[in-house]
Chains A and B, each alone.
Chain A
């Protein structure tokens, strides 16, 4: 393992989680996806080459430990539930002292919660970002 290689945990194995994991691997880092749904976890293990998949609730300390959170450099919480993403970041930062955390904001109304208070370094709201991009297209005709 070279010095640049990061250990990344992705919580939530939906479309975003899968795409993110593939990107992480492409950049030569190590990635583990945590996915609660068994059949979805199986699909991920088969479809994303080189990925490690842990099945379980990512808000559960035991599951995060199985995923290797104690040695992780970065955690990304990208489930479809804002409270779950917040709790993952909170645990990652304040309980496991993970260096960097990123979280997906599902409902723009919850964006105000995604701050250092919950251990969130980077909050990403797909909805808001997309809306902004579409608006730009509209205005540019």
Chain B
């Protein structure tokens, strides 16, 4: 995962330094990688300093160990004052705890679970983005025959379901509540997890 993050950031013309305990890991970066590589533990002071942590704008901890990621991100954030720190944490419940402790924790397991759920469970619904710990999701759906002629307001629920955009024949706009939907309109909707099951039924084909 670190290899992917590093090569993509390098492609965006950022200056990237990669730390890994195992020098073999750097081979995956490929010959074109323009950043620097450093062998060592991710929370070893000398290694971090050699990698330039003292003037880093961002620190990303994506080792395979949750604890290493937690420890190194706290070091980066509190000890070296790196402005932007992100840690990958497998377990969503732990990710939530560390978020409360001030670490930007992304839970890859949660992403995968949501993705799988979206692929399996919601015909007609596509998940575009989740917010927080997936308490709110942005989903898109195509208006089925059953809903054609209904107003946007009929689809919405105060505090739970909001239609953010309607796309018709390639043009998009933010609708008003009284607007009528047409068959095959593409709608983009912010849905609270509390209303997800309800909304799923509403837009089912």
A-side residues, CB < 8 A to B, are 59-62, 81, 83-84, 86-87, 90-91, 94-95, 109-110, 112-113, 117-118
C-alpha spacing A62/B97, complex, angstroms: 12
Given known contacts A59-B66, A83-B43, A83-B65, A113 and B71 CB-to-CB distance under 8 angstroms: yes
Within 8 Å of chain A (Cβ to Cβ): is B182? no
Told that A86-B71, A109-B44, A113-B75 touch, could you supply 16 new A-B pairs with CB distance under 8 A? A59-B66, A60-B91, A61-B97, A83-B65, A83-B68, A86-B67, A86-B70, A87-B67, A87-B70, A90-B101, A91-B97, A94-B101, A95-B97, A113-B43, A117-B79, A118-B74
Q: Is the interface of B mostly helix, strand, loop or mixed?
A: helix
Contacts of A94 in B (CB 8 A): 101
Interface flag for B94 (CB, 8 Å): yes
C-alpha gap A102/B95 in the complex (Å): 24
Report A-chain residues with C-beta under 8 Å of the C-beta of B68.
83
B45-91 contacts to A (CB < 8 Å): 45, 65-68, 70-71, 74-75, 78-79, 91
- Residue of B43, B66, B67, B101 with most chain A CB atoms under a 10 A cut-off: B67
Given contacts A81-B67, A90-B70, A90-B74, contact A110 B43 (CB under 8 A): yes
Number of interface residues of B (CB under 8 A): 19
Which of A60, A61, A83, A87 is packed against the most chain B CB atoms within 10 Å? A83
> Can you list 9 A-B pairs, Cβ within 8 angstroms, ordered by A?
A59-B67, A60-B91, A61-B93, A61-B97, A81-B67, A83-B71, A90-B74, A117-B79, A118-B71
Whole-angstrom distance between the alpha carbons of A62 and B65 in the complex? 18
